[in-house]
Amino acid sequence: MTFSFLRSIAIDISAPGLDTIQLAYIDDIPTDAKEIYLNTTDQHLDAYIKQDSYNLDFKTVIKEIITRDVDLKAEMRFQVTADPL
């Protein structure tokens, strides 16, 4: 299966008391793409990671109506730099 049905996707992060910020995105996904790699932003996530919980919100724009279920697998990697105590 390809991502021919998908035009764009963006991932935002939010946490209680913090603004929602964009983590990653891709626009104009090729119709023959079987994998996609999102462009990351240079946002600092330390305030979000230190929270008890946070939400990742996926926003998509589709090119065509989908009449079947689509399962997506996401592998996410975060680089963390810790300050010494």
pLDDT tens per residue across span 38-74? 999 999 888 998 899 999 999 999 998 888 888 888 8
The answer to whether residue 17 is domain-embedded is yes
Is the pLDDT confidence value at 76 over 70?
Answer: yes
Between 20 and 1, whose confidence is greater? 20
pLDDT in the model for residue 85: 63
The answer to whether residue 82 is domain-embedded is no
The answer to whether residue 76 is domain-embedded is no
Is the pLDDT confidence value at 82 over 80?
Answer: no
Domain count, the chain: 1
Q: Which residue segment(s) compose the domain that 39 sits in? A: 6-62
- pLDDT level of residue 6 (50, 70, 90 thresholds): very high
CA distance 48 to 56: 11
The two beta strands, 55-62 and 39-40, are: unpaired
* Phi, psi for 72 (deg, rounded to 5): -115, 140
